């Protein structure tokens, strides 16, 4: 019985081009905050720890920007990278506070947007020691087989069918999280 169902599934997948290798999944979610003011940095660290439940890491400046008194190596922010189930949980909480996203925020396999105030999200309550701050969210999508681009030995290229288009990114996030997308 099970063998027959597997063979039927294989023939369906071959005919439609939808198989395991075509499934889109969330590779990682990056939460990021930055500021040139030293007083805000402590609050940003608390904010990311509160939202993600993980310890954020420092981000350092790479370029010199004299107008903002930024020099290379100066500590200017924090970030947290979430993967797996934790990333999906945090995304569900974040998307509850968003009314809609714009099509311009989507790219090939990526979604990037900012949240002006974390208290807009109903899952997070106001914390007096944090105050009112915002943060940036970057979602990176992938398909199975992307490892061959990054592995150390026998690197190779992936075909155009394996890459994630902007339309596929929009469709995946719309279906997975029930998002409203404006044009």
Domains located in the chain, CATH noted: 21-182 (3.30.1440.10)
In 3D, which of 47, 18, 22, 24 has the Cα closest to residue 115?
47
The torsion region of residue 178 among left (phi > 0), alpha (psi -120 to 50) and beta comes to: left
Strand, coil or helix: 16: helix
Q: What is the pLDDT of residue 12?
A: 47
Question: pLDDT digit string (tens) for 43-96?
Answer: 999 999 999 999 999 999 999 999 888 899 989 999 999 999 999 999 999 988
What does pTM read for this prediction? 0.81
- What is the number of other CB atoms lying within 10 angstroms of the CB of residue 29? 22
Average predicted confidence (pLDDT) for the chain: 85
On the question of pLDDT at 124 being above 80, the answer is: yes
Tokens matching residue 15: 């005919």
Half-sphere exposure of 71 (CA within 13 A, CB side): 1
Phi, psi angles (nearest 5°) of residue 29: -125, 130
Task: Please say if the pLDDT value at position 101 is more than 90.
Answer: no
């Amino acid at each position: 019985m099970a063998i027959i169902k597997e063979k039927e599934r294989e023939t369906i997948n071959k005919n439609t081009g939808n198989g395991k290798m075509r499934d889109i999944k969330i590779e990682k979610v990056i939460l990021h905050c930055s500021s040139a003011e030293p007083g805000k940095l402590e609050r940003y660290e608390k904010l990311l720890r509160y939202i993600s439940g993980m310890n954020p890491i420092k981000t350092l400046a790479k370029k010199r920007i004299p107008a903002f008194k930024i020099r290379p190596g100066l500590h200017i922010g924090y970030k947290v990278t979430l993967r797996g189930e934790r990333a999906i949980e945090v995304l569900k909480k974040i998307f509850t506070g968003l009314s809609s996203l714009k099509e311009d925020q989507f790219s090939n396999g990526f979604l990037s947007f900012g949240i002006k105030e974390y208290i807009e999200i109903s899952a997070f309550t106001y914390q007096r020691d944090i105050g009112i701050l915002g943060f940036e969210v970057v979602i990176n999508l992938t398909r199975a087989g992307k490892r061959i681009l990054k592995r150390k030995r026998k690197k190779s290229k992936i075909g155009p069918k394996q890459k994630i288009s902007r339309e596929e990114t929009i469709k995946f996030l719309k279906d997975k999280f029930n998002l409203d997308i404006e044009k």
